[in-house]
A and B are shown apart, each in its own frame.
Chain A
Amino acid sequence: MTGSGGTLEVGLRGAVGELRIEAAFEARAGETTAIFGPSGSGKTTLLRAVSGLTRLSGRLALGPDTWQDDQRGVFVPAYRRRIGFAFQEPALFDHLTVEGNLRYAERRSDEPDGAPSVSFIGVVQRLGLDRHLGRMPRGLSGGERQRVSLARALLARPAVLLLDEPLSGLHRTARAAILPWLRALGEASGTVTLYVSHDLGEVVDVADRIAPIASGSVTAAAPAGQALDHLPAGHLLSRFEAGSVLTATVRAQLPALSLSELDLGGQRLRVPGTGRPVGTEARLRVRARDVAVATEAPTAISIRNVLRGTVTEVRDLPETPFAEVAVGIADQRLVARITRDAASELGLEAGREVFALLKTVSFDDA
């Protein structure tokens, strides 16, 4: 990838079939912005519009380069935009070998000799394609085709990398190995990466920022943690990125600290935000990975919210290093995601008294 072209400013609207697209957001160089939403919400159309394959109206610019500006009559065709695009259905060239497909992209990139961060051999090895270079695309499996397609998009050394569910055909463990690398690659090369997905787990692993999309409308890209906390709880609880919803009573407002103090079964919690009247009930959301578990009361620690409870269940998550620990607090249930290694070292099992450390808590409807 050829490094920073600057911030991608998207201001596009238009109708494609039944769907009305309304997109206004920015995506920064070196960051991965996930466009996250259900099927049929316009994610693919939005990527196509950014690439120039589909024409909507409005304005689109990458740093100083204007790609589209209807008021000035500017529309740069797709082949003059510094993009890489991995389609959901890989569109490989059937008349070329895997290597031929990759070289096709590399030869036409701005740096045919290869930037160090995305060398041909580096990409090929990381995506496990070294053994397949001489094969024809038609003989490849679906997952292999997707990896070739992704490699080809990377070797175009784009300023804007457009990924449309690029790993949907891969096994979760294979995906988990690729996503952090992809993110690091984008960061190192200063690429604007737009990553379309409907899989929250994938989004959490890859995104610096998340731009939720619903019925064709994208209005902002927020930092990942913040955006996740704004998602409806159903999203969080239904996917492998588990979380818990707790109910607590507002005890006091601490405006000087921008915090509210809450009571949960006699224990005290402090949560950002002061909007709730004292005495009302509030729903809190806690992501499982934001909960740590200790067997003794921790001292001298920055985490302010520590709840005492009893382990009700320890469940290993297959094919991951993690386990989920359910902790009963009063009559409520809090889920922590910790490593299996830690769970066994601490001797966690049902009935054990523990302290749950909550790194981040937020109001459910904040």
Chain B
Amino acid sequence: MNAETLWPPIRLTLELAGVTTVFLLLLGTPIAWWLARTRFRFREAVAALVALPLVLPPTVLGFYLLIALGPDGPGGFVARLFGERSLAFSFPGLVIGSIIYSLPFTVQPIRSAFEAVGDRPLEAAATLRASPWDAFWTVAVPLARPGLIAGAVLGFAHTVGEFGVILMIGGNIPGATRVLSIAIYDHVELMEWGTAHVLSGSLLAFSFVVVALTLSLQKRIGGRDR
């Protein structure tokens, strides 16, 4: 056990989770806003599509992603623009897979928070000459902030704990796609119990902090209505 074997998967995991979380917020916030505000008839069908990764076995999701990201899929087309053959087994591929896989964990709390804001503050903002864009940033986002933080934390944490999807689309390339959960799996396979203990213990502590943080945030959202 030494820093050179411990550190690369941790760094890669944090990079992946960080980049993914940024994209999750950029993508998930408008989706959550739309789901919370629209009167579109098939709104719940769209919501179900977003939530699908919650129930889909990661290997199934990973399989389809592998095809989509591979040389013959749209991912391969994009990759060729940058002189690569495929997005599978690459860091950008992992980010795309992680975004899809973690999206429901980000969208759901943000959507609930936007729904809790309700029409009234936004109507009040409109009567005070705030445009919808203005009102979104100055009223809706601040009022929904606990939900946005919860969405970011859950998206980050879920990406850190990812295993099946990554194994399918990223393989196990040290420094490129070998993230923490896969490293632990490898160490166990190689009977390196000590290293596995250190990494697993860290993830356990990390997960506990995340869950505690999220619960306290959700309590704050709930307290809003009282």
Q: Which residues of A contact B (CB under 8 A)?
A: 51-53, 77-80, 82-85, 87, 89, 91-95, 104-105, 108-109, 152-153, 156, 162
**Is the CB–CB distance between B129 and A53 below 8 Å?**
no
Measured in the bound complex, the distance between the Cα atoms of B120 and A93 in whole Å is 9
**Is the CB–CB distance between B123 and A53 below 8 Å?**
yes
Cross-chain pairs A/B with CB under 8 angstroms, 30 sampled = A51-B127, A53-B123, A78-B127, A79-B125, A79-B127, A79-B130, A79-B132, A79-B134, A80-B129, A82-B129, A83-B127, A85-B127, A91-B120, A91-B123, A92-B124, A93-B125, A94-B121, A94-B224, A95-B139, A95-B143, A95-B145, A104-B128, A104-B138, A105-B128, A108-B128, A109-B129, A153-B127, A156-B127, A156-B129, A162-B127
A105 partner residues in chain B, CB cutoff 8 A: 128
Tell me whether chain B's interface is mostly helix, strand or loop, or mixed.
Answer: helix
B135 partner residues in chain A, CB cutoff 8 A: 79
B46 CB-CB contact with A under 8 Å: no
Residue of B nearest to A90 (CB): B124
> Contacts A79-B131, A89-B120 hold; do A95 and B126 have CB atoms under 8 A apart?
no
10 extra interchain contacts, Cβ-Cβ under 8 A, other than A104-B130, A108-B128? A79-B127, A87-B124, A91-B121, A91-B123, A93-B125, A93-B143, A95-B142, A104-B125, A109-B129, A156-B129
**Is the CB–CB distance between B128 and A152 below 8 Å?**
yes
Measured in the bound complex, the distance between the Cα atoms of B124 and A8 in whole Å is 21
A153 partner residues in chain B, CB cutoff 8 A: 127
Residue of A nearest to B132 (CB): A79
A53 partner residues in chain B, CB cutoff 8 A: 123, 126-127
A51 partner residues in chain B, CB cutoff 8 A: 127
**Which of B124, B131, B134 lies in contact with A85, CB distance below 8 A?**
B124
B120 partner residues in chain A, CB cutoff 8 A: 87, 89, 91
Tell me the smallest distance from the CB of A166 to a CB of chain B, in Å: 13
**Is the CB–CB distance between B143 and A84 below 8 Å?**
no
B145 partner residues in chain A, CB cutoff 8 A: 95
> Contacts A53-B123, A93-B124 hold; do A108 and B143 have CB atoms under 8 A apart?
no
Which of B129, B131, B145 gathers the greatest number of chain A CB atoms within 10 Å? Answer: B129
A162 partner residues in chain B, CB cutoff 8 A: 127
Measured in the bound complex, the distance between the Cα atoms of B127 and A83 in whole Å is 6
Which of A78, A89, A95 gathers the greatest number of chain B CB atoms within 10 Å? Answer: A95
Tell me the smallest distance from the CB of B140 to a CB of chain A, in Å: 10
Measured in the bound complex, the distance between the Cα atoms of B124 and A77 in whole Å is 13
Residue of A nearest to B226 (CB): A138
Residue of B nearest to A86 (CB): B127
**Which of A77, A82, A89 lies in contact with B126, CB distance below 8 A?**
A77
**Is the CB–CB distance between B129 and A79 below 8 Å?**
yes
Measured in the bound complex, the distance between the Cα atoms of B143 and A162 in whole Å is 25
**Is the CB–CB distance between B127 and A84 below 8 Å?**
yes
B139 partner residues in chain A, CB cutoff 8 A: 93, 95
3 closest Cβ contacts across the A-B interface? A85-B127, A91-B124, A91-B120
Can you list, as one digit per residue, whether each of B101-128 has a CB less than 8 Å from chain A (1) or not (0)?
0000000000000000000110111111
B125 partner residues in chain A, CB cutoff 8 A: 79, 93, 104
Tell me the smallest distance from the CB of B95 to a CB of chain A, in Å: 33
Measured in the bound complex, the distance between the Cα atoms of B118 and A87 in whole Å is 15
Residue of A nearest to B138 (CB): A104
A83 partner residues in chain B, CB cutoff 8 A: 127
Measured in the bound complex, the distance between the Cα atoms of B139 and A108 in whole Å is 14
Measured in the bound complex, the distance between the Cα atoms of B57 and A110 in whole Å is 57
Tell me the smallest distance from the CB of A65 to a CB of chain B, in Å: 14
Tell me the smallest distance from the CB of B125 to a CB of chain A, in Å: 8
Residue of B nearest to A153 (CB): B127
Residue of A nearest to B129 (CB): A108
Tell me the smallest distance from the CB of A152 to a CB of chain B, in Å: 7
Which B132-152 residues have a C-beta within 8 angstroms of A? 132, 134-135, 138-139, 142-143, 145
Residue of B nearest to A54 (CB): B123
A84 partner residues in chain B, CB cutoff 8 A: 127-128
Which B68-92 residues have a C-beta within 8 angstroms of A? none
Residue of B nearest to A95 (CB): B142
Measured in the bound complex, the distance between the Cα atoms of B120 and A87 in whole Å is 9
B123 partner residues in chain A, CB cutoff 8 A: 53, 78, 91
**Is the CB–CB distance between A93 and B129 below 8 Å?**
no
A85 partner residues in chain B, CB cutoff 8 A: 124, 127
A156 partner residues in chain B, CB cutoff 8 A: 127-129
**Is the CB–CB distance between A93 and B126 below 8 Å?**
no
Tell me the smallest distance from the CB of B37 to a CB of chain A, in Å: 15
Measured in the bound complex, the distance between the Cα atoms of B127 and A77 in whole Å is 10
Measured in the bound complex, the distance between the Cα atoms of B224 and A186 in whole Å is 36
